[in-house]
């Protein structure tokens, strides 16, 4: 029983630390910036400019903004944009396409640190964009065709933010919305971290490495590749960066990790903590999870295959 309590407390501290000291500042700043751009009319002008080119792929102009944010800010940066899309009444079908695109793309918080170790950032960004566009297209035109394609009612947050322009009002409303999103993140993030911590405590990660090593060796895959894979999918991209840096420092780095194919398979937010965080953007975002995740997997697979073929 003491072991269970220790796991819960350890995961709880990590969840609160990530939520309050990492996610909350980014969320508040990004949400205020988005609302200011919206109130000034700049956001709508950008959306109108980008929308014609994005429409054939099932994307809206603001969804393209989310794709830019994950590529050049961090995996959490699209979260306020997705929440804003839901607030503005974007259809479920377009929400699914936007979420799929984000899930299939390489986040800047992992891409650029690994570029310092030898990952080709330009090639990775190009394949990331192709993967995101493919994921959105497949989700909108095929996987999400049964989702609603009509705009929904505008939320209370959107009504408050779209009223008379006031800097103080925008800061207060946007800050409150960002704080509410982060509070919604904590339970899902906590559960995912409990799972990760428990698996590590009982030795399941090490056991899985030992179990898979012979099979991978027979097909020519370095067993050392197992640790980055397990770390990424259980603990997320930030943990992956830490593991790769540690492997590099000790001379155990697997070259495949920093290849275009390896980046396609490893660099994206479709992992346990990343998915928990992104699905916290809103109720309708969560409704679109299944087609969006499948679409994201297709985009990731395309990135991986193209990276192996042309890398």
Residue 145: pLDDT band (50, 70, 90) is: very high
What does the pLDDT average to over 189-198? 76
Distance, CA of 57 to chain centre: 19
Q: What is the pLDDT of residue 155?
A: 57
231, 225 Cβ separation under 8 angstroms: no
pLDDT in tens, 74-106: 888 899 899 889 988 899 999 999 999 999 999
C-alpha 93/C-alpha 140 separation (Å) is 6
Beta carbons of 98 and 66 less than 8 angstroms apart: yes
pLDDT at 146: 93
- Buried (b) or exposed (e) across 133-158, using 16+ Cβ within 10 A? bbbbbbbbeebbeebeeeeeeebebb
> What share of the chain in percent tops pLDDT 70?
93
pLDDT tens track for 24-58: 887 788 888 888 887 888 888 888 899 999 999 99
The stretch 4-9 carries a mean pLDDT of 82
């Amino acid at each position: 029983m003491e072991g269970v309590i220790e796991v819960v407390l350890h995961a709880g501290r990590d969840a609160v630390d990530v939520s309050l000291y990492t996610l909350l500042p980014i969320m508040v700043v990004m949400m205020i910036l988005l609302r200011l751009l919206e109130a000034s009319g700049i956001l709508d002008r950008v959306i109108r400019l980008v929308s014609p080119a994005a429409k054939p792929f099932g994307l809206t102009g603001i969804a393209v903004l989310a794709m830019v944010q994950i590529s050049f800010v961090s995996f959490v940066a699209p979260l306020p944009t997705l929440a804003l899309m839901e607030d503005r009444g974007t259809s479920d079908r377009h929400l699914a396409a936007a979420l799929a695109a984000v899930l299939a793309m390489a986040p800047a918080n992992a891409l650029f640190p690994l570029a310092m170790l030898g990952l080709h950032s330009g090639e990775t960004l190009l394949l990331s964009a192709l993967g995101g566009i493919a994921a959105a297209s497949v989700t909108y035109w095929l996987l999400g065709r049964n989702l609603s394609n009509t705009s929904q009612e505008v939320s209370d947050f959107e009504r408050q933010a779209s009223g008379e322009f006031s800097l103080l009002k925008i800061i207060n409303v946007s800050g409150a919305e960002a704080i509410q999103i982060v509070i919604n993140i904590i339970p899902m993030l906590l559960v995912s971290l409990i799972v990760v911590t428990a698996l590590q405590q009982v030795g399941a990660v090490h056991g899985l490495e030992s179990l898979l090593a012979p099979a991978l060796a027979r097909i020519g895959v370095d067993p050392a590749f197992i640790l980055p894979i397990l770390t990424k999918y259980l603990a997320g991209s930030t943990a992956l960066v830490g593991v790769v840096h540690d492997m590099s420092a000790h001379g155990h780095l697997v070259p495949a990790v920093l290849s275009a194919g390896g980046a396609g398979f490893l660099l994206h937010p479709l992992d346990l903590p990343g998915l928990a965080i992104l699905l916290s953007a809103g109720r309708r975002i969560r409704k679109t999870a299944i087609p969006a995740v499948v679409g994201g997997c297709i985009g990731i697979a395309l990135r991986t295959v193209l990276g192996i073929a042309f890398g």
